[in-house]
Amino acid sequence: MLGNCLHQMRYNLSLTRGGDFRAGAPKIMIIPLNDIFAATVEDWKSGNRTWRETTAEAYEYALCVLPPDFRKNGLFAMGEIYDHSPKGEAIYHFFTEDKNGRCFAIMGTIQEAKSNLFPSFPE
């Protein structure tokens, strides 16, 4: 996983410099996370507490874009706060992977993650 993160960061850096970081490297598609972000934000705002399935590429991108603010057993909070709750708790986008390799996203607080208060995965 870390190797993929380093590769992605080098690739992103090369885009800002107008070229690839190594000769002959395959073109890598940057996965837009707007769809998964839009879905989880809509869920959060409507009170719908459900995991949204996403791609492994989106999971890896979310993991690599910034160091996670929280990480536990494959669950992590993206390293950027989305918003704050009325109680002042930081709200994050969380990503995880189940035992079958399926990836999911949800919004919540680090306290929810620490207390295992997230809902079960969809079937």
Of the candidate ranges 32-36, 60-64, 75-79, 83-87, the one whose mean pLDDT is the lowest: 32-36
Which residues share a beta bridge with 86? none
pTM of the prediction? Answer: 0.74
Q: Dmax over Cα atoms in the chain, in whole Å?
A: 51
- Tally Cβ neighbours within 10 Å of residue 40: 25
Whether pLDDT at 52 is above 60: yes
Rounded CA separation 46/111 (Å)? 20
pLDDT in tens, 72-111: 988 999 999 999 999 999 999 999 999 889 899 999 999 9
The string of DSSP letters for 14-79 reads HHHTTS-SSTTPPP-PPPP-HHHHHHHHHHHHHT----EEE-HHHHHHHHHHS--SEEETTEEE-S
Rounded CA separation 6/89 (Å)? 31
For residues 87 and 80, the answer to whether their CB atoms sit within 8 Å is no
For residues 119 and 47, the answer to whether their CB atoms sit within 8 Å is no
